[in-house]
Structure 1
Amino acid sequence: MTQIIYDGSYEGWLSAVFESYEYKLKDVVFAKKENSNRLLFSNTHFVITDNNKANRVLNGLEQRLSKNGFSSIYLAFLSELDQIEEMLFRFVQYAFSSPINIEGDLSRSEVLNVKKAAHLTGKESHRMKAFVRFKLTKDDLYYAIVEPDCDVLPLIEQHFKNRYADQRWLIYDSKRRYGIYYDLEDVTTVEMQFESNPSSSFLAEINDENEEFFQNLWRNYFSSVNIESRKNTKLHIKHMPKRYWKNLTEKIPNLNKR
C-alpha cells in the first residue's frame, strides 16, 4: 500500500492521480502535507503540484464525462468528507477504464458517493450565499465570518463579486483559516491567523461606530416580520440550521437591549 502526500489543493490531488498511473502505484491512500497515522507501515510517495499533470487528468476526464459529471469531481473534492480523495480516485479509475460514460451507474459505490458529495457541497454553497452577514469596519471594509461544512469560498466568490462590486469586502472561513478579499477589481485568497475566535468581541474594536446601530435595525426588522402564530421552529431550523446561527446577526442577541 502507498500513501501519497500532496499539498491539499485540487491541482495537487490531480497531480497525485497522474503520478499514481505514471509510477503504477497500487492500493493508494491520500494524505495532506504530512504522513497520516492511518498507515504506519505503508510506502510513501510525495507529490509536487504540477499544473501540466493536473490538466492532463482533467482533459482525460472531460472527454469521458458530461459537463455536470466533470464539475461534480471538483464539488465532491471541496466537500472534505472523510476519505473523499480515495472515493474520487476510484471514480476516476472507473471513468478511465470504462468505454462508456459511467455517471448513471449508481450501483457502483464510487459513482454514488461522488454524486452525494457533490450535492452536499452544492447545497452548502447555496446556503452560504444566503447566510453571509457583512459588518462594516472603520476603514470601509465589509467583512463576514463563516464556518461552512464544505470548502465553498471558491464557489461563492463570483456571486459576491457581482453582487457587491462597488465595495471592498472580505469573507473569512474560520474553520479553514483563510478568506477571499475583493479590492474593487479582483478577488484574492488571503490567509489570516487569529489568537482567538475571529467572531469574538475583539472584532468589535474595528467596527464602524454606526455598525451596532444597523445590526440592531436588522434584528428589529427580522423580529417584526416574524408572525408568532405562524411560527414553525422545525421548518425554520431545516432551512436555517443552528450551526449557522452564531454568525447570523439576527440570531445574535442585542447585548445593549434593556
Structure 2
Amino acid sequence: MITTLIYDGTFEGLLTAVFEVYEHKLGLVNLVKTGHHNAAMFEQVITVVTEETRAARVLKGLKLKLSPMGIQRLYAAHLSEIDGEDNNLVGYIRYAFDTNENIEEDYGNRLVMRVSELVRMMRREKHRMEAFVRFQKLSDGSFYAAVEPDFNVLPLLVKHFRSRYADQRWIIYDLKRNYGIYYDLHNTEYITLDFAENNKPGQAMAAFCEDEGIYQHLWKNYFNSVNIKSRKNTKLHIRHIPKRYWRHLTEKI
C-alpha cells in the first residue's frame, strides 16, 4: 500500500517527511503539498507537521552522506517547486541514506540524474535573474525591482545582490509568489507587500522618486545607442532574453 504524506511545501517540511518515513518504516510513499492531494479509497494518509527538531536530525544525517555542495544542490532542487518532483527528492534522500558510498556523482541512478537536471534549471534561472533585475528608485530612497521567475530562486539571489549593492537599501519582489527580499544595509529579510490593482508591476509600497523617469529615459537611450541594427538577430536575442521577462526590463517597456 502506498502511504500519502501531505506536507507544507517547505524544505524543513520535506526533511520532516523523510523522518516520518523512517520512523514509521514506510515503504512506498507519495509526498504531496498541502492543497494538491486528491483523496482515494483505501489510502493511508499522514499529515506531516513540520518540526525543526526532526528536520535538523535528518539534515545532520544528510551532512554525513553528502558534501556541503550536495546539501546546497538538494535545497536548490527543492526550490524548483515543480509538481511531482517531491517524490524524486524523497527518493534521492532515501537513496543517500541507504547507500554506503556518496551518491552525488552516481548519474546512472535516475534520481541522482533528475536532481542534477533540476539544479541545472535553477542555476540557469538564477543567472537570468541576476542579469535581468532592474531596480527603480522609490521616494524613500530605497530601490525596488519586480520579478516573476519560473522557479523560486529568490533565496539563491541574496548573496549576489548583497555583495553587488551593499551600499543601498533594496527590495526584490517575486510577484508570482507574493514575497520578496528586503536589504536594509545590514541584514536581509523575507517580506510580503500589499499591492494595488491585482499586483500589477510598478504598484509598489511607495511612489517612485521624481527623477526615476529621467533615469529610465537615459537607460533606454543608452540601450538604443549601443544597439547595432545591421547585426540584429531576433531569434538569438529571444533565446537569451525570453519574452516572458520583458515586462520587467526597463529597456523593453
TM-score (norm 2): 0.92
Q: Which runs of 5+ in 2 are unaligned?
A: none
1:91 CA displacement: 0.9
1:205 CA displacement: 7.2
Partner of 2:65: 64
Verify the 8 A CA contact 1:91 1:110 in the aligned structure 2.
Answer: yes
Moved more, 12-21 or 185-194: 185-194
Q: Which amino acid aligns with 2:40?
A: L
1:85-136: per-residue Cα shift (whole Å, max 9, x none)? 1111111111111122222322221111111001111111111111110011
Partner of 1:6: 7
1:136-156: per-residue Cα shift (whole Å, max 9, x none)? 111112110001111111111
CA–CA distance in structure 1, aligned partners of residues 109 and 178 of structure 2: 35
TM-score (norm 1): 0.90
Verify the 8 A CA contact 1:95 1:101 in the aligned structure 2.
Answer: yes
- Mark the CA change 1:223 to 1:204 in structure 2 (over 3 Å): closer, same or farther: farther
Partner of 2:40: 40
1:47 CA displacement: 1.8
Q: How does 1:137-156 map to 2 (within 5 A)?
A: 137-156=138-157
Q: 1:92 and 2:93 equivalent?
A: yes
Q: Which amino acid aligns with 2:251?
A: E
1:29-76: per-residue Cα shift (whole Å, max 9, x none)? 222233512x43332212222222212222222222233333211111
CA–CA distance in structure 2, aligned partners of residues 144 and 129 of structure 1: 12
Moved more, 17-26 or 83-92: 17-26
1:179-198: per-residue Cα shift (whole Å, max 9, x none)? 01111211000123435343
Q: How many residues align?
A: 251
Percent of paired sites with the same residue: 48
Partner of 1:112: 113
RMSD: 1.9
Moved more, 189-198 or 162-171: 189-198
Partner of 1:243: 244
CA–CA distance in structure 1, aligned partners of residues 185 and 66 of structure 2: 36
Partner of 1:161: 162
The 3-state SS of whatever aligns with 1:206 is coil
Q: Which runs of 5+ in 1 are unaligned?
A: 253-258
Verify the 8 A CA contact 2:169 2:183 in the aligned structure 1.
Answer: yes
Q: How does 1:153-192 map to 2 (within 5 A)?
A: 153-192=154-193
Moved more, 45-54 or 126-135: 45-54
Q: Which amino acid aligns with 1:40?
A: A
Q: Which amino acid aligns with 2:216?
A: Q
1:153-190: per-residue Cα shift (whole Å, max 9, x none)? 11111211122122111111011110011112110001
The 3-state SS of whatever aligns with 1:185 is coil
The 3-state SS of whatever aligns with 2:171 is strand
The 3-state SS of whatever aligns with 1:166 is coil
CA–CA distance in structure 1, aligned partners of residues 197 and 25 of structure 2: 45
